[in-house]
Copies of this chain bind each other. A is one copy, B any other.
Amino acid sequence: MLFYTLDIIGTFAFAISGVLVAMQKRMDLFGIFIIAFVTAVGGGTLRDVLIGKTPVGWMNDLNYVYTIGLAVIISIIFKNKLNRLRTSLFLFDTIGLGVFTIIGVEIGISAGLHPIICIALGTMSACFGGVIRDILCNEIPVIFRKEVYATACILGGITFFILQHFRLKEDLIYIFTAAIVISIRLLVVKFRIQLPTVYEKQ
C-alpha cells in the first residue's frame, strides 16, 4: 500500500515534469496532457510492450490517468508558483525514480528474465518516459547527453540482485534499492557529477 502510494507520487511528479517541458514548447492543452502522460507512464508502457504484458499497465488502473490529469490541472493553475516548489518536485521525482526502478525489476523477474534484462527493464521503467517526452518535443533526450540519471537506476538494480543473493527479506531489498537510487541521484545533483567523458578536451 505504501509502495502503491509512492508509485502514484512518482507518477504525479513525472507528469509535472512533462507539463513543464511541454509549456516551454508552448504546446496547447492537448499537447500538454499527452506529454505529461507519456513522461509519467511511457517508460512502463515501453517495458510492458517489449515483454508482451498487454493491455499495458495504465489501461488496467485508471488511478494513473486521474493522477496525471490532476497533475496537469494543478500545474496549469499554479504555473507561476511551480518554481517555488522546485525542491519538493525534485524530491518527488527522485522517489519516482527509485520506485519505478523496483517495479521494472520485479516485473522482469516475474517474466522469468535474466537479471541483466531485469535491470534494463527497471532502468527503462524509470527513465524512458523522459526519453519519449524529449523525442515528442523534438529534443535529443537529456539523459543521453548530460544527466546522470539512468546510472542511479542501473546501480539500484544491481543492488537489488546482490541483496536477493543474500536472501534478505523483500521489504528490506525494496528499501535498500530505493535508498541507493535516491542517494546516488541526490549526490549527483548536489556535486554536479557527470559520467566520465569519452571525448578529448577541446
Q: Which residue of B lies closest to A30 (CB)?
A: B150
A65, CB-defined interface residue at 8 Å: yes
Contact A140 to B136, CB < 8 A, known contacts A30-B150, A52-B52: yes
Min CB distance A134 to B, Å, is 9
Q: Which of A76-109 contact B (CB under 8 A)?
A: 76, 79
A23, CB-defined interface residue at 8 Å: yes
Q: Are A79 and B28 in contact (CB-based, < 8 A)?
A: no
A168, CB-defined interface residue at 8 Å: no
Contacting residue for A50 out of B49, B62, B138, CB 8 A: B49
A139, CB-defined interface residue at 8 Å: yes
Contacting residue for A141 out of B62, B117, B136, CB 8 A: B136
Q: Are B116 and A29 in contact (CB-based, < 8 A)?
A: no
Min CB distance A111 to B, Å, is 6
Q: Which of A1-9, A173-181, A189-197 contacts B (4 or more CB under 8 A)?
A: A189-197
Q: Are B76 and A31 in contact (CB-based, < 8 A)?
A: no
Contact A30 to B144, CB < 8 A, known contacts A54-B52, A59-B51, A76-B198: yes
Copies in the complex: 3
Bound Cα distance A135, B141 (Å): 10
Q: Are A138 and B138 in contact (CB-based, < 8 A)?
A: yes
Q: Which of A14-32 contact B (CB under 8 A)?
A: 22-23, 25-32
Q: Are A26 and B199 in contact (CB-based, < 8 A)?
A: yes
Min CB distance A202 to B, Å, is 10
Bound Cα distance A24, B144 (Å): 13
A70, CB-defined interface residue at 8 Å: no
Contact A55 to B50, CB < 8 A, known contacts A29-B196, A136-B144, A144-B35: yes
A-B contacts, 15 of them at CB < 8 A, read A22-B144, A26-B145, A28-B145, A28-B146, A29-B195, A30-B144, A30-B151, A31-B141, A31-B143, A31-B144, A31-B145, A52-B52, A59-B114, A79-B198, A131-B136
